């Protein structure tokens, strides 16, 4: 061996190392591929999970359910994220009053004129109800009803009527958990069930047998425990009631309220007795094409998902616009852009009609208020007040919806057309009264271009109304003494 | 020496992967090859219950038939895409045909139903620039399709790949 051959030795060993590294990498990659194939084969045979530990009755802590249902629990926790925004909805909280200050005038004298934000995910329910300026010391416990799975437990403990009759503040210590598993599921079988009496009672009054309701309908009805129009029956009882006895349409509800003595508040400017519609999402959805085809709320807002071999329901309840692929494309074979374009097209047109209706209503409230200030009597203003109240109820039936015009586009357009036409009828009747007092047909427009300006504008009216009410109460108290 | 050993290890692992992945089945036209991946089960199930199940297999619609070369080139390309996405767990919940795949499917509709179209062309909205599936969208796979549309469907089981698989009579029956 001569010293000349020495340099070739490292060269040979480098090739060796390269072969070693190359084959190691290659075998590693192949092994990895092999194990994913085996994993995937395994997935195909995974069945449904069973309860890993029993769940107590009224278990309101969703994490206890999450032990056995990690996928459902994880997606439910995702409702905590407030990060999606669609043109009209989404989970990022919006200040509706700042977005559209007309609302302040429409709700003058009512809590909604103080604050009204867009809703956030289910996990924010308790936090958000505590934060709203609409809650005060007089607020009844009824307002908790839709916010927490702790509610059925305290209802069972205190009795349903007694629960409603108590004050909101009474349950601050009892109610801690946001909307979760127990609100919709049976703790033993996981079957969907109605946990709130108001829906059960409304269905029973309609003559429905709850035991005969199918699973597919339950996938909407569990939502209808809360996403509906409701009112608190009785000044002291505050008994949560759905005005469904005559049907679910705007007309059927108007008819229902006409036959009841219930009013939500008296409008500070016009003096009309008003009904505030809550969010009749379920009722409006029932009148659309999707409901007619047997689609449930969960089909679009909680679409099925496959993870490995397991099918489950995505519990991150959200706008389908943020999840078009899983929600819409299961049935609609168009591209995502095309689907979004169709939906937003409907919602934009809907928004236009809403604003038309709001303008008519604001003008009518102001015009009645001005006539009243000029000396028009309650008798003269009775008809215009009745009409503004009805027109606003129709508008609110649509406006309070979280579907933003998508759930039943033709039906909501029809109701808005009616709202506008009733408001105009009110304007015509009022024009005669106003003429008597030397006023032009409508009151001049006022600057309500921002939330602050609008709130400033209604302030004296709200104060005058509150002062009058306080004086009346004082007089009544004194009269009772003597 | 080392080189041969490395190639040997590589070849052996390759054979193993070929076996557990049921690789040879992909050369066939058997629909069961497509449900080697459970992702395709809902599509297998909806096909199996459709009118097409009696006359057409997956490949009849989903791969080109102009020539054997075109068929296997497409199979190789599409298979690579599918296996990549499947391995990386990037599959969407609702599968949608790519533009290229739509083209292949449309050509295959025409391959069998071309005569029919010549009779109705121009009638009742039948236009050559529209795809058959735009209207007949429920024909091949039903009204709703997604990975979870038929979760508990009964489909033929996968072949056993361990030692037992070599002498398992079920494997032969499946074939």
CA dist A181 and A76 (Å) reads: 9
Q: Is the pLDDT of residue B164 over 80?
A: no
- Show which of residues 34-63 on chain B sit within 8 Å of chain A, judged by CB atoms: 37-39, 41
Q: Would you say residue B168 has pLDDT above 60?
A: no
pLDDT at A171 over 60: yes
Q: What is the pLDDT of residues A270-303, one digit of tens each?
A: 999 999 999 999 999 999 999 999 999 999 999 9
The answer, yes or no, to whether residue A102 has pLDDT greater than 70, is yes
If you average pLDDT over residues B103-126, what whole number do you get? Answer: 79
Q: What is the ipTM of this complex?
A: 0.74
- pLDDT attached to residue A212: 94
Residue A35 has pLDDT above 90, yes or no: no
* Residue B18 contacts A, CB cutoff 8 Å: no
Of A85-99, A187-201, B124-138, minimum mean pLDDT range: B124-138
A191 burial via Cβ count (<10 Å: 0-12, 13-18, 19+): exposed
pLDDT of A81 higher than 50: yes
Interval A3-30 mean pLDDT: 72
Element (H, E) at B169: helix B169-174
Nearest to A251 by CA among A107, A426, A422, A103: A422
pLDDT at position A170 over 90: yes
pLDDT digits (tens, 9 = 90+) for B36-91: 888 898 999 999 989 999 999 999 999 999 999 999 999 999 999 998 898 888 88
Per-residue pLDDT at B13: 86
Site from B3, B4, B6 to mutate, A interface, most A CB atoms within 10 angstroms: B6
- Among residues of chain B, what percentage have pLDDT more than 90? 32
Site from A29, A31, A39, A41 to mutate, B interface, most B CB atoms within 10 angstroms: A41
Of the given ranges (A84-88, A219-223, A454-458, B164-168), which has the lowest mean pLDDT? Answer: B164-168
Mean pLDDT along residues A364-387: 96
DSSP for A151-166?
HHHHHHHH-HHHHHHS
Judged by DSSP in three states, B137 sits in: coil
- State the pLDDT at residue B175: 41
| Mean residue pLDDT across chain A | 92
Q: In this model, does residue A1 exceed pLDDT 50? A: no
* Percent over 70 (pLDDT), chain B: 86
**Min CA distance, A56 vs chain B (Å)?**
29
Q: Is A369 helix (H, G, I), strand (E, B) or coil?
A: helix
DSSP A368: H
At A316-336, the pLDDT tens digits run 999 999 999 999 999 998 889
Q: Considering only alpha carbons, which residue of chain B is nearest residue A17?
A: B2
pLDDT of residue A157: 95
Residues in chain B: 175
How far apart, in whole angstroms, are the C-alpha atoms of residue A100 and residue A351?
A: 11
Instruction: Please name the residue of chain A whose CA is at the shortest distance from the CA of residue B145.
Output: A330
Cα–Cα distance, A467 to A459 (Å, whole number): 12
Radius of gyration of chain A from Cα atoms? Answer: 30
Contact A27 B10 (CB under 8 A): yes
Q: For A2-6, A40-44, A248-252, A432-436, which range has the lowest pLDDT when averaged over its residues? A: A2-6
Instruction: Among A58-62, A444-448, B68-72, B143-147, name the one with the lowest average pLDDT.
Output: B143-147
Give, for A241, the enclosing helix (H) or strand (E): strand A239-241
Region A115-142: what's the mean pLDDT? 93
Rounded percentage of chain A residues whose pLDDT exceeds 90: 81
Q: Do A20 and B6 touch (CB under 8 A)?
A: yes
């Amino acid at each position: 061996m001569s010293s000349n051959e020495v340099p070739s030795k490292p060269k040979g060993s480098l090739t060796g190392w390269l072969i070693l590294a190359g084959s190691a990498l290659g075998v590693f990659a192949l092994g990895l591929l092999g194990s994913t194939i085996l994993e995937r084969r395994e997935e195909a045979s995974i069945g449904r999970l069973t309860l890993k530990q029993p769940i107590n009755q009224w278990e309101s802590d969703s994490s206890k359910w999450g032990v056995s249902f990690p996928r459902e629990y994880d997606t439910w926790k995702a409702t905590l994220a407030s990060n999606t925004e669609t043109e009209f909805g989404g989970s990022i909280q919006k200040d509706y009053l700042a977005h559209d200050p007309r609302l302040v005038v429409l709700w003058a004298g009512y809590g909604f004129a103080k604050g009204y934000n867009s809703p956030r995910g289910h996990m924010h329910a308790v936090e958000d109800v505590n934060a709203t300026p609409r809650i005060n010391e007089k607020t009844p416990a009824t307002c908790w009803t839709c916010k927490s799975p702790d509610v059925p437990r305290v209802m069972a403990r205190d009795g349903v009527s007694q629960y409603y009759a108590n004050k909101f503040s009474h349950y601050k210590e009892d109610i801690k958990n946001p909307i979760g598993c127990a609100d919709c599921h049976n703790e033993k079988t996981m079957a969907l069930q109605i946990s709130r009496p108001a829906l059960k009672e409304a269905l029973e009054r309609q003559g429905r047998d709850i035991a005969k309701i199918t699973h597919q309908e339950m996938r909407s009805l569990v939502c209808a425990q809360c996403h509906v129009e409701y009112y608190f029956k009785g000044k002291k009882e505050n008994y949560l009631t759905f005005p469904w006895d005559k049907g679910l349409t705007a007309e059927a509800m108007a008819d229902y309220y006409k036959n009841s003595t219930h009013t939500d508040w008296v409008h500070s400017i016009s003096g009309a007795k008003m009904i505030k519609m809550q969010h009749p999402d379920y009722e409006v959805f029932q009148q659309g094409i999707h409901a007619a085809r047997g689609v449930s709320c969960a089909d679009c807002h909680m679409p099925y998902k496959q993870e490995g071999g397991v099918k489950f329901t995505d519990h991150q309840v959200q706008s389908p616009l943020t999840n078009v692929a899983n929600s819409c494309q299961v049935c609609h074979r168009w591209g995502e852009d095309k689907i979004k374009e169709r939906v937003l097209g409907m919602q934009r047109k809907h928004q236009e009609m809403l604003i038309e209706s709001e303008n008519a209503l604001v003008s009518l409230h102001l015009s009645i208020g001005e006539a009243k200030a000029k000396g028009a009597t309650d008798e003269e203003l009775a008809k215009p007040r009745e009409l503004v109240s009805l027109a606003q109820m129709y508008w609110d039936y649509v406006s309070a919806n979280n579907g933003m015009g998508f759930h039943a586009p033709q039906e909501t357009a029809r109701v808005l057309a009616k709202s506008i036409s009733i408001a105009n009828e009110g304007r015509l009747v009022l024009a005669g009264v106003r003429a008597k007092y030397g006023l032009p047909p409508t009151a001049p427009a006022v600057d309500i271009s921002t939330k602050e300006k609008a709130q400033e504008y209604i302030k004296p009216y709200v104060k005058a109304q509150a002062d009058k009410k306080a004086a009346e109460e004082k007089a009544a108290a004194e009269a009772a003494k003597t | 020496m080392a080189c041969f050993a490395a190639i040997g290890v590589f070849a052996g692992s390759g054979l193993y992967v070929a076996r557990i992945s049921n690789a040879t089945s992909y050369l066939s036209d058997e629909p069961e090859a497509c449900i080697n991946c459970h992702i395709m089960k809902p599509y297998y199930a909806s096909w199996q219950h459709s009118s097409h199940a009696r006359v057409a297999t997956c490949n009849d619609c989903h791969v080109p038939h102009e020539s054997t070369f075109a068929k296997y080139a497409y199979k190789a390309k599409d298979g690579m895409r599918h296996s990549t996405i499947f391995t990386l767990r990037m599959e969407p919940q609702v599968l949608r045909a790519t533009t290229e795949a739509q083209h292949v499917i449309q050509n295959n509709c025409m391959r069998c139903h071309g005569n029919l179209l010549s009779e109705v062309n121009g009638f009742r909205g039948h236009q050559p620039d529209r795809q058959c599936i735009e209207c007949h969208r429920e024909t091949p796979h039903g009204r709703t399709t997604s990975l979870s549309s038929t979760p508990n469907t009964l489909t033929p089981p996968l072949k056993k790949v361990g030692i037992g698989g070599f002498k398992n009579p079920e494997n032969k029956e499946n074939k």
